[in-house]
Amino acid sequence: MSRPIRDQVVVVTGASSGVGRETALLLAEKGARIALAARNEEALHTLETEVTRLGGTALSQPTDVAEWEQVQGLARDTVERFGRIDTWVNCAATAVYGEVHQLSAEEITQAIRVILLGQIYGMKAALEQMRPQSQGGIVNVASALAVQAVPLQAPYVAAKHGILGFAESLRMELEHEGSPITVSTLLPSSINTPLFEHARSKLGVLPQPVPPIYQPRVVADAVLRAISHPQPRMVVGGGGKMLELVHRLAPRSAATLLLRVGKTVEKQRTDRPDDGSDNLFTASTGPGAVEGSFGQRAKSTSLYTTALEQHPGRIRALLTAGGLLGITALRRGRR
Mean of all residue pLDDT scores within the chain: 92
CATH for 9-301 is: 3.40.50.720
CA distance linking residue 294 with residue 314, whole number of Å: 32
Domains of the chain, residue spans: 9-301
Q: What is the pLDDT of residues 282-317, one digit of tens each?
A: 999 999 999 999 999 999 888 888 888 877 766 555
Task: Name every residue whose Cβ is closer than 8 Å to that of residue 173 and which is 6 or more positions away in sequence.
Answer: none
Residue type, 312: P
Count Cα neighbours of 231 within 13 Å in the Cβ-side half-sphere.
19
Residue scoring higher pLDDT (333 or 104): 104
Q: Are strands 269-273 and 205-207 parallel, antiparallel or unpaired?
A: antiparallel
| pLDDT at position 1 over 80 | no
246 and 254 in contact (C-beta within 8 Å)?
yes
Asked if the model's pLDDT at residue 325 lies above 50, the reply is no
**What is the pLDDT at residue 34?**
98
Q: Dump pLDDT digits (tens) for 170-226.
A: 999 999 999 999 999 999 999 999 999 999 999 999 999 999 999 999 999 999 999
Mean pLDDT for 36-49 is 98
The letter for the amino acid at 267 is K
In whole angstroms, what is the distance from residue 233 CA to residue 168 CA? 9
Instruction: Label residue 250 by pLDDT band (50, 70, 90).
Output: confident
30: left (phi over 0), alpha (psi -120 to 50) or beta: alpha
Q: With beta carbons less than 8 A apart as the criterion, state whether 24 and 42 touch.
A: no
Is residue 229 scored above 60 in pLDDT? yes
Identify residue 281 by its one-letter amino acid code. F
b vs e for 169-185, b when ≥16 Cβ sit within 10 Å of the residue's Cβ?
ebbeebeeeebebbbbb
Q: Which positions are annotated as active-site residues?
A: 156
Whether the per-residue pLDDT at 322 is higher than 70: the answer is no
pLDDT in tens, 71-109: 999 999 999 999 999 999 999 999 999 999 999 999 999
Lowest-pLDDT choice from 4-18, 74-88, 149-163, 312-326: 312-326
Say if residues 136 and 87 touch (Cβ distance below 8 Å): yes
- pLDDT tier for residue 281 given thresholds of 50, 70 and 90: very high
CA 315 – CA 295 distance, rounded (Å): 30
Does pTM surpass 0.75? yes
- Residue 142 has what DSSP assignment? -
Mean pLDDT of 164-172: 98
Q: Which residues pair with 186 in a beta bridge?
A: 141, 234
Residue 306 has what pLDDT? 85
Check if the beta carbon of residue 11 is closer than 8 Å to that of residue 88: yes
Cα gap 83→64, rounded to integer Å? 23
With beta carbons less than 8 A apart as the criterion, state whether 69 and 40 touch: no
